[in-house]
Amino acid sequence: MTEKRSRRGAVEMGTVLMIVAFAIIVGFIYWLSGQAANERAMEIVEDTTTEVVDNSANSGATQVSASDIMMDASPYVGQLIQLEPQTVLSLVGQQGFTLDFPTGPFLVSYSDEEIANGFTVTNGDVVRITGTVTAMTPEIAAGWQEAGRLTEAERMVAEFAVNFIQAQDIQIAQAAPGGNGA
């Protein structure tokens, strides 16, 4: 006769696997809700930024949204654009700053006039920029470094930009909490 062995070990393993599967599902739902929250936040920003009134001094500029240039700004090289309000991610020396795009930072360079006047922004400021999209070259970044506006490390960061906006006008739409709001 055949022996009947206990299947108790299989039952205990089934319970463990069920708990692990449940934990994985809960983790996935938690991650998914975080992604949805980010998406909702981006929709809110897009909805509120489109209501900003056009500045008549920059009326010759092409109105551009972040989604138009964040993947590829090449079609806009050489064009004067006015970018919808965006959040400042970080400063890049005394030369400029990066904008917080979903695909990564986008470089903006202050105009010589803004640098001479000591104009700056703060991380977290929401700014509206009018300027010319320019293709980045190592010579441009080296010129900024030679002028004392960038350190060697900041120059290397700037060179990673394929294109940047050479700002002609920067308006702070909303100052960051504790920022200078200059």
pLDDT tens-digit series, residues 45-67: 544 443 344 444 556 888 888 88
Residue spans of the domains in the chain: they are: 6-51, 60-174
Dist CA 124 CA 82 (whole Å): 19
Q: Which of 44-48, 86-90, 137-141, 163-167 has the lowest mean pLDDT?
A: 44-48
pLDDT tens-digit series, residues 120-135: 898 988 999 999 999 9
- The answer to whether 95 touches 158, Cβ cutoff 8 Å, is yes
Task: Calculate what percentage of the chain has a pLDDT beyond 90.
Answer: 21
By DSSP bridging, strand 80-92 and strand 126-135 are antiparallel
Fold assignment, 60-174: OB fold (Dihydrolipoamide Acetyltransferase, E2P) (2.40.50)
- The answer to whether 169 touches 57, Cβ cutoff 8 Å, is yes
Report pTM.
0.63
Question: Residues with Cβ < 8 Å from 117, sequence gap 6 or more?
Answer: none
Dist CA 93 CA 109 (whole Å): 10
Alpha carbon distances (Å) from 57 to 43, 52, 127, 130, 138: 28, 14, 16, 10, 32
Q: Tell me the Ramachandran region of residue 87: left when phi exceeds 0, alpha when psi lies from -120 to 50, beta otherwise.
A: beta
